[in-house]
Amino acid sequence: MRSVINILDLSVEEIDALIATANDIIANPKKYSEVCHGKKLATLFFEPSTRTRLSFEAAMYELGGHVLGFSDAGSSSATKGESVADTTKMVNCYADIIAMRHPKEGAPLVASMNSKIPVINAGDGGHNHPTQTLTDLLTISRKKGKLSDFTIGFCGDLKFGRTVHSLITALARYTGIKIVLISPDELKLPSYIKKDVLVKQGIEYVQTDNLEEVLPELDVLYMTRVQKERFLSEEEYIRLRDSYILTAEKLKIAKEDLIILHPLPRVNEISVDVDDDPRACYFEQALNGKFIRMALIMELLGLKAE
Ligand code: CP
């Protein structure tokens, strides 16, 4: 049995294989429609979600399997004081695989240590979000035809943005990646990621607070929401929330083959007038999340299409 808690739980070769499977699912969906017949996915979401939970559920249904779970910790026995470990042991009685989101960093790891069935981290606090990273890698690979030799700018809340932390960790294993970190001083990438990932792997990176200055050199722009739920002070959130607003006007100086990604949800960091720009890929990115999660569920259950 194997779980995916951190993107580093998957080798580069395994990620390449998942991307290949996802591309095949996109091309031949019928081939996969009964692969998970009789299998059950439990979605244990202790924190709100639209894309991750619904794409996991859609993924299992499209593989011919079933789904059970909860979307709100308030409707689970966590409210009565049940631990993550005990909840996981219970769900082992009812399901074949678990996708868990939790506001506490490390909760899915605790679940995996108390589980005989695979556990997938569907986002833990400000820490990791490995299936979003797989979604991002699939989207970059489909749009750029490669996962190497490009410049990517991460813009917004790089401190609390778990999708940023996971994607940087993943990209550090590919070649020719240049990283531009664009944030206000208060929302800079945590120093442990700079030290343990960027410096350790010798990844070229720069830091700036000026999006317009660096926009023309980017091949990929990864916008992020300022994570209101992680702030201790409402005042501080209000001061920082509009640090960056990408508009159609600002994009005039960007490359024609730029791709704009965002894990979503957006608040107002991407103006709706950008949505019709062919460089805006964030809705397609959300769709890709379903296909890569189908590939991951199959892999962790040891199932293949006939
Ligand atoms: N990208 C993402 O994790 O979205 P949700 O919070 O809606 O799942």
Q: How many Å lie between the centroid of ligand 1 and the Cα of residue 259?
A: 20
Ligand 1 site, residue 264, Cβ cutoff 6 A: yes
> Domain tally for the chain?
2
Whether omega before 265 lies within 30 degrees of 0, making that bond cis, reads: yes
199-221 residue pLDDT tens: 999 999 999 999 999 999 999 99
What letters, b where the CB count within 10 A reaches 16 and e where it falls short, cover 140-162? bbbbeeebeebbbbbbbbbbbbb
More confident residue, 235 or 69: 69
Find the helix or strand (DSSP H, E) in which 113 lies: helix 107-113
The pLDDT confidence band at residue 228, using thresholds 50, 70 and 90, is: confident
Angle at 119 between CA 114 and CA 125, to 5 degrees: 95
Residues contacting 98, CB < 8 A, separation 6+: 41, 42, 43, 44, 88, 91, 111, 115, 117, 118, 119, 120
pLDDT score for 224: 95
Residue 306 inside a domain? The answer is no
Does one domain contain both 91 and 194?
A: no
Residue 203 inside a domain? The answer is yes
Ligand 1 site, residue 133, Cβ cutoff 6 A: no
Q: Which two tokens stand for residue 56?
A: 């996991």
Does one domain contain both 189 and 108?
A: no
Which atom number of ligand 1 is nearest to the Cα of residue 54?
Answer: 8
Q: What SS3 class is residue 117? A: coil
pLDDT score for 94: 98
The pLDDT confidence band at residue 8, using thresholds 50, 70 and 90, is: very high
pLDDT above 80 for 240 = no
Does one domain contain both 281 and 155?
A: yes
pLDDT score for 131: 98
> Can you say how many angstroms the Cα of residue 6 is from the centroid of all Cα atoms in its chain?
11
Amino acid at 257: D
Closest Cα to atom 1, ligand 1: which residue?
A: 263
Indicate if 52 belongs to the active site: yes
- Quick one: average pLDDT of 159-166? 92
Ligand 1 site, residue 216, Cβ cutoff 6 A: no
Contact (Cβ atoms closer than 8 angstroms) between residue 222 and residue 262? yes
Ligand 1 site, residue 52, Cβ cutoff 6 A: yes
Contact (Cβ atoms closer than 8 angstroms) between residue 226 and residue 184? no
Q: How many Å lie between the centroid of ligand 1 and the Cα of residue 219?
A: 24
Residue 187 inside a domain? The answer is yes
Q: How many Å lie between the centroid of ligand 1 and the Cα of residue 263?
A: 7
Q: Which of 80, 116, 175, 252 is catalytic?
A: 80
Residue 160 inside a domain? The answer is yes
Does one domain contain both 73 and 122?
A: yes
Q: What SS3 class is residue 133? A: helix
**Separation CA 48–CA 45 (nearest Å):** 7
More confident residue, 113 or 227: 113
Contact (Cβ atoms closer than 8 angstroms) between residue 251 and residue 218? no
Residue 179 inside a domain? The answer is yes
pLDDT above 90 for 238 = no
63-118 residue pLDDT tens: 999 999 999 999 999 999 999 999 999 999 999 999 999 999 999 999 999 999 99
Phi, psi of 208 (to 5 degrees): -150, 165
Does one domain contain both 147 and 214?
A: yes
Does one domain contain both 149 and 276?
A: yes
Does one domain contain both 12 and 116?
A: yes
Contact (Cβ atoms closer than 8 angstroms) between residue 97 and residue 297? yes
Q: Which of 101, 142, 159, 225 is catalytic?
A: 101
DSSP assignment string, 37-98: TT-EEEEEESS--SHHHHHHHHHHHHTT-EEEEES-GGGSGGGGT--HHHHHHHHHTT-SEE
Residue 49 inside a domain? The answer is yes
pLDDT above 90 for 120 = yes
Ligand 1 site, residue 279, Cβ cutoff 6 A: no
pLDDT above 80 for 226 = yes
The pLDDT confidence band at residue 169, using thresholds 50, 70 and 90, is: very high
**Ligand 1, pocket-test mutation among 228, 264, 292, most atoms within 8 A of CB:** 264
Ligand 1 site, residue 283, Cβ cutoff 6 A: no
Residues contacting 133, CB < 8 A, separation 6+: 7, 163, 166, 167, 169, 170
- Mean pLDDT, the chain, rounded, equals 95
Does one domain contain both 66 and 168?
A: no
pLDDT score for 237: 79
Which atom number of ligand 1 is nearest to the Cα of residue 122?
Answer: 3
pLDDT above 80 for 301 = yes
Does one domain contain both 267 and 174?
A: yes
- Quick one: average pLDDT of 176-198? 95
Indicate if 80 belongs to the active site: yes
DSSP annotation of 158 reads: T
pLDDT score for 39: 98
Closest Cα to atom 4, ligand 1: which residue?
A: 51
DSSP assignment string, 253-271: GS-TT-EEE--S--SSSB-
More confident residue, 233 or 78: 78
> Can you say how many angstroms the Cα of residue 249 is from the centroid of all Cα atoms in its chain?
28
Does one domain contain both 27 and 110?
A: yes
Percent of the chain surpassing pLDDT 90: 90
Does one domain contain both 121 and 225?
A: no
Ligand 1 site, residue 288, Cβ cutoff 6 A: no
Does one domain contain both 89 and 159?
A: no
Residue 1 inside a domain? The answer is no
Residue 111 inside a domain? The answer is yes
Phi, psi of 158 (to 5 degrees): -90, -10
pLDDT score for 287: 98
Parent domain of 95: 7-128+289-301
CATH for 16: 3.40.50.1370
10-37 residue pLDDT tens: 999 999 999 999 999 999 999 999 999 9
